[in-house]
Amino acid sequence: MANERSLVLVKPDAMQRGLAGAVLQRLENRGLLLIGLKLMRVDQDLASRHYAEHEGKPFFAALVDYITSSPIIAAVFEGDSATSAIRNSVGVTNPSQAAAGTIRGDFGLEVGRNLVHASDSPESGERELALFFTQEELVQWSRDNERWISENP
């Protein structure tokens, strides 16, 4: 789908390890357009809503503890097929299985310390970004080099 929007979270472990810039740079380098960015803490309520699909699973409590344990960076990236492009750059859920060259494959070892969240569908992206950003916080803009990133900008 053209012009999808995806929520990316730089999770507490990536923040504590000083990897926020490296995570965001990889997505920026691909040509994805950054349209929202904030440093924040996730509280229990936001964590529960964001991870609602995982409520009841054995790892849910640990997941909420992890995401609320330290500040995070929330980002929204926009682009053609942004969801799959970002998921491919992030790597599979368990870093021990993630391909080298992906964020999780290059920086992580354990599923409970997998550095980054990325929306799994355009619909999830819209639902999730609305939990973290108001409409006014998202910035509509285009780059002067857009035609060198996209054949049909």
Q: Which of residues 120, 127, 138, 149 is near Mg ion by CB under 5 A? A: 120
93, 96, 97, 145: which one binds ligand DAT (CB under 6 A):
93
Structure tokens of 139? 């910035």
Give the contact letters, 110-129, x = binds to ligand DAT (CB under 6 A), - = no: -xx-x--x--x---------
For the bound state, the minimum distance from the C-beta of residue 120 to Mg ion, rounded and expressed in Å, comes to: 5
- Catalytic choice (9, 86, 117, 125): 117
Report in angstroms how near the CB of residue 94 gets to Mg ion at its nearest: 12
Give the position of tokens 């599979």. 92
117 is catalytic: yes
Q: Which does 5 bind (CB under 5 to 8 A by kind): ligand DAT, Mg ion, none?
A: none
Whether 10 contacts 72, CB under 8 Å: yes
**Is the Cβ–Cβ distance between 5 and 133 less than 8 Å?**
no
CA distances from 86 to 58, 61, 75, 106, 152 (A): 27, 26, 12, 15, 20
Residue-by-residue DSSP string for 70-119 = S-EEEEEEEETTHHHHHHHHH--SSTTTSPBTBHHHHH---GGG--EEE-
Residues that bind ligand DAT (CB under 6 A): 54, 59, 63, 93, 111-112, 114, 117, 120
Active site residues: 117
Residues that bind Mg ion (CB under 5 A): 120
